């Protein structure tokens, strides 16, 4: 059900490296506008039918929500149903603007700067700094503390600290979506080829066990690539054993066990990874053009050209990858689960600076964190028309309707405030939400969870490091070059570009953050 979106602008990527955790200060901050303070006083006096969570709803309000997706044929029909519920509960109507991912990166900033009527906006963390610096979104710190009733409850199971990961220097740009984020990396394999070679998932305890598997599978299918990789989508971001502290320009090793910032690319862990991949490439197990190809793993699996690939894990990993690849896939964890600021707060919900009534917009946002009814309507449409609920409790298309014929196929739960309040589509585990919560709770928490650094004084170094990495990362990670030759060159160029300066600044900020806890 989840769809992965990539390809961000460099300015946005640089902006995210400004992130600094705001958990404690956000929780202590009772600030906000004069209107928020007045509404809080109303709440203290006791709520009436015209007040919800301390916010006056005596007058109707129409809010606009921006979603990343495509316009749906029955969108107005669904909106009418949504608005019946919202008017009943919080005297609010909602309009939805759909933007494709391509349009989102260019059009949404123009809408926010141009003063368009926008209230609720998706904030991808790589754009957060740009949104703040250009005064496109509001600081939500005070709003959360005074009015965030449902969102606080939504994060209670997994840890309230996750609610406060959407910050830059005490400025809370967004409320993270509620999601499972175990941070585990897996190798996903064709189940039929694995069985044919005489192996089961229990035979694979780590990435080092893949050599024996690849050797036998390759003997049966010499025409296929054993480990599929592509440009820009290689193991540094798919085989995660560190807290990347936003950008991998200085990380915490061993899942963020200790608050000691080091150069990941100079670590034994990275050397072992690229050495292994070079050996695999020499055996023909990784494609010779892996560093340059953009063909997806799913398409390669479907065409019988590949056996396996790295992918993020989780309770829904096998169902999602099997559906995407068109054949049964087995996803075996090759790292432990981890929870980092970067991993959890990838996407969040903010309120536009130009919102005509920020308190009412926030009330709607808080409402969405608890409403399964509205979540299902946005995600799947109207029950009985666009989906039905099976005896097993899973959702599926009505008889005679499929993906190609349905007039409402949004199905983008990953970006909604709290998809855990909604239903689960067929092909997934009926207990998916509970398992995601447990996986997130059991993941190793980085010692820097809630922290990210401010790189505003390091823009020259960050740009130089990004340029150097773009020259080396793909070829090293895919085994296209001999790591014993190219890795020392890479490290030297990183040093010359200012890696150590960035590491020292990160360390200083991390030390200060620890001291303030």
pLDDT tens for each residue of 188-244: 999 999 999 999 999 999 999 999 999 999 999 999 999 999 887 644 556 788 998
Q: CA 61 to CA 84: how far, in whole Å? A: 13
- Residue 270 counted as domain residue: no
Closest-CA residue to 186 (of 321, 23, 352): 321
307-328 average pLDDT score? 89
* Residue 248 domain flag: no
Contact call for residues 54 and 147 (beta carbons, < 8 A) = yes
Q: Domain for residue 266, yes or no?
A: no
Per-residue pLDDT at 4 exceeds 60: no
In a domain, 23, yes or no: yes
pTM: 0.79
Percent of the chain with pLDDT over 90: 64
Three-state SS sequence of 248-315:
CCCEEHHHHCCCCEECHHHCHHHHHHHHHHHHHHHCCCCCCCCCCCCCCHHHHHHCCCEEEEEEECCC
Considering only CA atoms, which of 139, 130, 187, 189 is closest in space to residue 164? 139
Predicted pLDDT of residue 14: 39
pLDDT attached to residue 11: 40
Mean pLDDT to the nearest integer, 342-370: 94
Query: Hey, is 156 helix, strand or coil?
Result: helix
Q: Phi and psi (nearest 5°) for 499? A: -55, -45
C-alpha distances in angstroms, 64 versus 119, 177, 224, 356, 386? 5, 18, 49, 10, 23
Q: What is the number of domains present in the chain?
A: 1
* Spatial contact of 481 and 239, defined as CB atoms under 8 Å apart: no
In a domain, 173, yes or no: yes
Give per-residue pLDDT as tens, 118-155.
999 999 877 888 888 889 999 999 999 999 999 999 99
Cα three-residue angle 200-206-208, rounded to 5 degrees: 105
pLDDT for the residue numbered 516 = 80
Helix (H) or strand (E) holding 174: none
The Cα–Cα gap between 424 and 382 comes to 14
In a domain, 370, yes or no: yes
Q: How far apart are CA 369 and CA 178, in angstroms?
A: 8
Q: What is the DSSP letter of 202?
A: G
| Cβ atoms within 10 Å of 404's Cβ, excluding its own | 6
Tell me: the pLDDT tens digits for 271-290? Answer: 999 999 999 999 999 999 99
Residue pLDDT, tens place only, 60-70: 999 999 999 99
For 49, residues 6+ apart whose C-beta sits below 8 A from its C-beta are: none
Domain range for 73 is: 10-181+343-379
> What is the C-alpha separation between 181 and 444, in angstroms, rounded?
11
pLDDT at 393 over 50: yes
Mean pLDDT for the chain overall? 87
Q: Is the pLDDT of residue 355 over 90?
A: yes
What distance in Å separates the CA atoms of residue 329 and residue 318, rounded to the nearest whole number?
6
* Digit-coded pLDDT (tens) for 12-28: 433 444 445 565 555 54
417 belongs to a structural domain: no
Name the band, by pLDDT with cuts 50, 70 and 90, for residue 35. Answer: very low
Helix (H) or strand (E) holding 63, with range, is strand 61-68
User: At 8, is the pLDDT very low, low, confident or very high (cuts 50, 70, 90)?
Assistant: very low
Does 108 have pLDDT greater than 70? yes
Q: What is the pLDDT of residue 30?
A: 41
What pLDDT does 39 receive?
38
> What's the rounded Cα separation, in Å, for the pair 161 and 277?
37
Q: What is the pLDDT of residue 294?
A: 85
According to the model, what pLDDT value does residue 502 have? Answer: 96
Structural domain contains residue 86: yes
3-state helix, strand, coil in the chain (%, to 5): 45, 15, 40
Q: How many residues does the chain have?
A: 517
Average of per-residue pLDDT across 369-380: 97
Which residue(s) pair with 227 in the sheet? 308
Among 43-57, 88-102, 278-292, 340-354, the range scoring the smallest mean pLDDT is 43-57
Distances (CA, A) of 108 to 66, 105, 229: 8, 6, 32
Tell the burial category of 224 from Cβ atoms under 10 Å away from its Cβ (0-12, 13-18, 19+). Answer: buried
**Higher pLDDT, residue 169 or 243:** 243
Residues 6+ apart with CB under 8 A from 419: 177, 178, 179, 375, 379, 413, 433
CATH assignment of the domain containing 104? 3.40.190.10
């Amino acid at each position: 059900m989840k769809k992965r979106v990539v390809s961000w602008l460099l300015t946005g990527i640089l902006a995210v490296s400004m992130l600094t955790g705001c958990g404690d200060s956000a929780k202590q901050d009772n600030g906000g506008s004069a209107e928020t303070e007045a509404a809080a006083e109303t709440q203290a006096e006791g709520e009436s039918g015209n007040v919800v969570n301390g916010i006056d709803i005596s007058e109707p309000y129409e809010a606009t929500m921006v979603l990343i997706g495509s316009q749906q044929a029955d969108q107005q029909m669904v909106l009418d149903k949504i608005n019946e519920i919202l008017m009943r509960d919080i005297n609010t109507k909602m309009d939805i603007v759909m933007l494709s991912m391509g349009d989102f990166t260019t059009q949404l900033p123009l809408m926010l700067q141009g003063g368009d009527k926008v209230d609720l906006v998706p904030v991808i963390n790589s754009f957060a700094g740009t949104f703040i610096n250009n005064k496109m979104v509001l600081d939500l710190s005070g709003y959360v503390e005074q009015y965030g009733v449902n969102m606080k409850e939504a994060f209670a199971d997994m840890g309230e600290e996750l609610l406060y990961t959407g910050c830059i220097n005490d400025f809370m740009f967004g409320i993270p979506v509620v999601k499972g984020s175990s941070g585990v990396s897996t190798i996903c394999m064709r189940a039929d080829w694995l069985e044919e070679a005489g192996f089961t998932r229990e035979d694979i305890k780590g990435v080092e066990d893949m050599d024996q598997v690849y050797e036998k599978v390759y003997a049966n299918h010499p025409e296929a690539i054993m480990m599929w990789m592509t440009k820009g989508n290689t193991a540094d971001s798919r085989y995660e054993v560190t807290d990347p502290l936003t950008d991998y320009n200085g990380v915490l090793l061993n899942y963020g066990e200790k608050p000691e910032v080091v150069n990941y690319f100079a670590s034994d862990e990275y050397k072992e990874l690229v050495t292994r991949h070079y050996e695999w490439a020499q055996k023909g197990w990784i494609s010779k053009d892996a560093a340059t190809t953009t063909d997806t793993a799913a398409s390669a699996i479907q065409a019988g050209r590949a056996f396996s690939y790295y992918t993020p894990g989780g309770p829904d990993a096998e169902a999602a990858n099997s559906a995407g690849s068109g054949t049964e896939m087995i996803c075996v964890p090759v790292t432990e689960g981890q929870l980092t600021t970067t991993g959890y707060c990838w996407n969040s919900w903010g309120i536009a600076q130009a919102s005509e009534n920020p308190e009412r917009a926030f009330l709607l946002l808080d409402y969405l964190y608890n409403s399964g009814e509205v979540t299902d309507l946005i995600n799947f449409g109207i029950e009985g028309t666009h989906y039905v609920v099976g005896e097993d409790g899973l959702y599926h298309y009505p008889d005679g309707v499929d993906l190609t014929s349905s007039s409402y196929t949004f199905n983008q739960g990953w970006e909604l405030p709290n998809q855990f309040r909604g239903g689960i589509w067929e092909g997934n585990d009926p207990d998916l939400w509970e398992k995601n919560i447990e996986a997130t709770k059991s993941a190793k928490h980085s010692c820097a969870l809630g922290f990210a650094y401010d790189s505003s004084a390091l823009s020259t170094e960050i740009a130089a490091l990004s340029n150097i990495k773009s020259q080396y990362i793909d070829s090293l990670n895919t085994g296209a070059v001999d790591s014993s030759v190219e890795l020392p060159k890479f490290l030297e160029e990183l040093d010359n570009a200012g890696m150590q300066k960035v590491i020292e600044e990160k360390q200083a900020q991390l030390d200060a953050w620890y001291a303030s806890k």
